Structure 1
Amino acid sequence: MEINDSSSQIRFIKKNILKIFTLGMLFLLVIPSFAAAKPTEDEITDSYLYMLGRYLLIRQENQDVNVEKLGYNKIKYNSPGSSEFANPNLDVVYMESWIAVDKDNAVILNVPEIKDRYYTVQFLDGWGEVLTNINDRTSPDHPYGKLAIVLKGTNPKNVPKDALKIEVPFNKVKMLARIELKGTPDEAVRLQKMFTLEVPANIKIAPVVSIPDFTNSKLIGSEIFSKTDEVLKSYPDSMPKASEYQKTVKKVADYMKASAENKKYIDNILETKAIPKFIEKTNGFGVEKNGWVVTYGAGEFGNDIILRDIVNYAGTWGNTTNEVIYFGGMKDVDTGQLLNGNNTYKIVFPKESLPDSMAEAFWSITLYNKPDYHVAKNALNKYGLNNITGVQKNKDGSLTVWIGPELPKGAFQKNWIPTEKGREFILNFRLYVPKEPVKNGTWFPPVIQKVNS
């Protein structure tokens, strides 16, 4: 009886095998949309903001390596007063390089001795976190000479005995060095060209991750989740909560891939929640006062994904507060409106609180248009003021800075920054090697005040 039952079952299965196979395949096709848990709006927003920080720097790496054809392990010696990335400092001469190493090979950076002017050699990871600065303040025992860039945990044979080891967490690192122009750009350029690299011939270098094109004006959308695994593997993240964020990112990516309907849901959240939230934050994020905004965590972001995004979006390769503090001039203090090139503004520094008194190295105020954060075009090719541009003090010892499309009546021309009409702009007030009142937040720049032209 049992044999007969088994035979019947076998005949039934053979007869209906096509139906069973078809039903099984249908089940496999539809199960992903049920298996992928639906993320919340906050999970989608946080995942997007987390990934955006990395995408912005992949975009920059692609610009440097493939568009400008810089490649790896070559130094780009930027001309004085120019740079291709957003929010450049026009008071220094830059050197920059994507340095690539591997477990068997270090790259040696030769740094010249630099006296009586500000300089720093900054190393950053692929998320914009500062790994270290080398200069006469941070490494007084080895402020110049040979720096050996070494993959952490390795011991390459080509490291010179007299070199200072710079251990990096992955096989690529961004080097950005700055030398103050200080009124003698020819000397700064001479020192700049003395930065050189010694590079082994057999270093294995992974190519830049290929990502969709996007701009600051039109940010990337749900495509940001299309290469989640590849992007996350392209550089380790030192953020303490990185593993938590990455787990949620993968949840969102899996859900989006499960169906067209799921992708539509993700697109809607990005368009209505995540991207508008980020753009809103770029108009004022951090401590706000007098029309200025400042954050004290650039280069060392902790778990602040929005701060990291904003720095990578508006001022790629920001440095730590011991090196520089950036105040962003955003709004007219009286109206609360964003700064606009059609208007005229003034900033008055009292004689007891002049910019010179708040920085050990130097200060500058530079004007950039939004949203690209590049310098505002004007007939004078004048984009800012600093401690060596010859600003003139008022009779009472105070200093008035003027910003507007035309020189205000009665203003010193040396104290005027021209604007581009019809464009919103921001001011970047930099204090290099800021003094303690600046670092602890007790000092703030004076109000930005709109005035009649």
Structure 2
Amino acid sequence: MTRVSGDLPMPVKPQPASVSDQEISDAYNYLLGRLLVTRQQQLDFKDGFKWNGILHRKPGAVDWPNPNLDVAYSEAWVAVDENSYTIVSVPKIEGRYYTVQVLNGWGETLANINERVFPRRPYGDFAVCLQGATVSLPADVQRIDLPVRSARVLARVALGDDWDQAVALQHQITVRATGTPTLPEIPTTPIFDLENLPGVEAFDAADIALDSERDLNPGMEPLQEKARAIARAVKDPEQRARVDKAIRTVAFADFAKAGPPIGHGTIRNGWARPAVVGAYNIDYLARTLINYGGIWANIAPEVMYYRASTDGTGAPLSGDNAYTMTFSKDQLPAHYANYFWSVIAVDTRHFRVLPNPKEKYLINEQSKPEYGPDGSLTFHFAAEKPADVPEGNWLPMPKGSVYRLTFRFYGPIDGVSNGTYWPPALRRVN
């Protein structure tokens, strides 16, 4: 459009979008949840992934935030369409936790294959199908419908005491396509370091990110439209600078503020418990935070995660200090998990396990912790093991490190499943 000044037409500058800094922050932190998944998807395919094939990782050999070192992981990206399906074959596994988790491109869990979900026959062949697809399946195949054309698969097999058996079972999990499904394009979005989140360039990728994967949660449409509107606005240099400033001053601050309680979670005894995990409904902020700090999280009936970055006084956890954590006899971790529990430490920048000369990265039942005369259990977190502390009760913490702990309860029961339990506080002892 133009306006007339005398006889000369003059270009009219596009009007700036009527969007507040807070709206920019909300749209950014919503969009970031998707960009964290597209980032990982691009890294996966650079790492050798092929559609409808599976990669079996060696125990401990995964490179994403906050890994679970109790399990052997196998990973896949599957694609389905109206005329094909993908067979996921699962061996018979008894006396050992396992699951084959299926997620969408927002990090939302769509399905699990295990004895909880399929108690009558939790093994054999499962046909992953596009919802509504008319495909002919063999009689002995169990159908799983997906509301999306592509999905992330993450299989976990508990290592337990016999790693060789766990790895043998892991390698019996297979994925194969039937027919020739139409393969989706991998979205090209920014690949960024987790400690250096994108600024306004996130909105340059908004249309690609949103067009390539529908958010299944109702109520997200206004945020999607806001993200698209901002993406249009930032084509103007003035608006681009303004949006980038709002991201760096407001959105990053909102993200950091929401980090300790994991969005709308609750902190007690220094431990944060998320309000939602694995399936987020309208809590997009929790989804983004969990995709950032522990991508591919499963749903609460499978596992509950607690996270601590501070001791019982609120001081940050430091490798220069020594801490203890004591469970009374009637509150032992095993009382709250059907399958297993563990606690690991990761750094606060990359969320990777902390290297130590012992190459010991978690405390769990396999570390053989010893109980006190009264039946209590005490964990120790310190650079050096106290002389009178059993090896299995101690987790080495490198001096100079700042870290956080993650406590996992697989097959949560009682207070962990109903949200009334929190692990005991860490107490500084030096």
With the length of structure 1 as denominator, give the TM-score of the two structures.
0.90
What is residue 276 of structure 2 aligned with on the other side?
297
SS at match of 2:60: coil
Q: Map of 1:408-423 to 2, 5 A cutoff?
A: 408-423=386-401
What is residue 86 of structure 2 aligned with on the other side?
107
Q: Map of 1:391-406 to 2, 5 A cutoff?
A: 391-406=369-384
**Is contact 1:82-1:88 (8 Å) kept?**
no
What is residue 58 of structure 1 aligned with on the other side?
38
Shift of 1:152: 1.3
Question: For each residue in 1:380-404, what CA deviation from the matched residue of structure 2 results, as whole angstroms up to 9, or x when unmatched?
Answer: 1101111222101112211110011
Query: What is the distance in 1 between the residues matched to 2:205 and 2:393?
Result: 49
What is residue 272 of structure 1 aligned with on the other side?
249
RMSD, aligned CA: 1.7
Question: For each residue in 1:223-271, what CA deviation from the matched residue of structure 2 results, as whole angstroms up to 9, or x when unmatched?
Answer: 11113222101111012222111111122222222x2111111011111
Structure 2: gaps of 5 or more residues: none
Query: What is the distance in 2 between the residues matched to 1:222 and 1:204?
Result: 33
Shift of 1:363: 0.5
Indicate whether 1:371 and 2:357 are aligned. no
SS at match of 1:396: coil
Identify the structure with the greater helix proportion: 1
Q: Of 263, 270, 288, which aligns to 2:240?
A: 263
Query: What is the distance in 1 between the residues matched to 2:266 and 2:58?
Result: 34
Structure 1: gaps of 5 or more residues: 1-16
Structure with the greater alpha carbon radius of gyration: 1
Indicate whether 1:44 and 2:24 are aligned. yes
SS at match of 2:181: coil
**Is contact 1:109-1:197 (8 Å) kept?**
yes
**Is contact 2:190-2:205 (8 Å) kept?**
no
Shift of 1:191: 0.7
What is residue 362 of structure 2 aligned with on the other side?
384
Indicate whether 1:244 and 2:222 are aligned. yes
How high is the sequence identity, in percent, across the aligned residues? 35
**Is contact 1:122-1:130 (8 Å) kept?**
yes
Query: What is the distance in 2 between the residues matched to 1:401 and 1:149?
Result: 43
Query: What is the distance in 1 between the residues matched to 2:331 and 2:95?
Result: 24
Deviates more, 1:347-356 or 1:209-218: 209-218
Query: What is the distance in 1 between the residues matched to 2:211 and 2:259?
Result: 28
SS at match of 1:64: helix
**Is contact 2:233-2:239 (8 Å) kept?**
yes
Shift of 1:31: 4.0
Shift of 1:102: 1.8
Query: What is the distance in 1 between the residues matched to 2:88 and 2:94?
Result: 19
What is residue 152 of structure 2 aligned with on the other side?
174
What is residue 140 of structure 2 aligned with on the other side?
162
Query: What is the distance in 2 between the residues matched to 1:433 and 1:227?
Result: 38
SS at match of 2:167: helix
What is residue 313 of structure 1 aligned with on the other side?
292
SS at match of 1:51: helix
Query: What is the distance in 2 between the residues matched to 1:277 and 1:122?
Result: 30
Shift of 1:428: 0.7
Query: What is the distance in 1 between the residues matched to 2:258 and 2:102?
Result: 27
What is residue 9 of structure 1 aligned with on the other side?
none
Q: Of 431, 435, 439, which aligns to 2:409?
A: 431
AA paired with 1:108?
I
Query: What is the distance in 1 between the residues matched to 2:273 and 2:303?
Result: 12
Shift of 1:61: 0.5
Query: What is the distance in 2 between the residues matched to 1:438 and 1:213?
Result: 36
**Is contact 1:151-1:168 (8 Å) kept?**
yes
**Is contact 2:369-2:392 (8 Å) kept?**
yes
